[in-house]
Amino acid sequence: MGAEKGKKPRYVISIAAEMLGTQTYTLRYYEKIGIVKPARSSGNIRLYSDHDLMLVRKVQTLMDELGVNLAGVEVILRMSAQLAELQKDKEELERKLEDLLSSTDQRNYQQ
């Protein structure tokens, strides 16, 4: 699944809750505390993406299987997002360094 495709809003709250085996009020609460941010239709209806569902499943796993409380889940999700961003930055810096070294090698070779 592509990154953009996974973020396309597609499920109303009742369908999302059913797919996740949870209640609609739980999803509204997760939205209220900032764990998920469903899109809104022109009629202000919450629309959840596959990415939103994946996040809720991650929350469910952390809480149900690992015994992490909601405050811990929020910290873990925030740190995971920061780690992913740092990994992306690292990969970009490695590409830039490789380009720089490659262009330096080419200049040295031409001299």
- Whichever domain contains 20, its CATH number is 1.10.1660.10
Number of domains the chain contains: 2
Residues 32, 57: one domain?
A: yes
Q: What is the DSSP string of 85-108?
A: HHHHHHHHHHHHHHHHHHHHHHHH
Whether residue 110 sits in one domain with residue 61? no
**pLDDT tens for the chain, residues 1 to 111:** 555 677 899 999 999 999 999 999 999 999 999 999 999 999 999 999 999 999 999 999 999 999 999 999 999 999 999 999 999 999 999 999 999 988 887 777 666
Least Cα distance to 17 among 25, 9, 6, 5 occurs for 25
Of 36, 52, 68, the last residue of a domain is 68
Check whether residue 81 and residue 27 sit in a common domain. Answer: no
Q: Are 52 and 75 in a shared domain? A: no
For residues 63 and 17, membership in a common domain is answered with: yes
Which long-range contacts (C-beta less than 8 Å, at least 24 apart) are formed by 74-81?
Answer: 74/33, 74/34, 74/35, 77/35
pTM of the model: 0.75
Assess whether 90 and 109 both reside in one domain. Answer: yes
Range of the domain at 15: 1-68
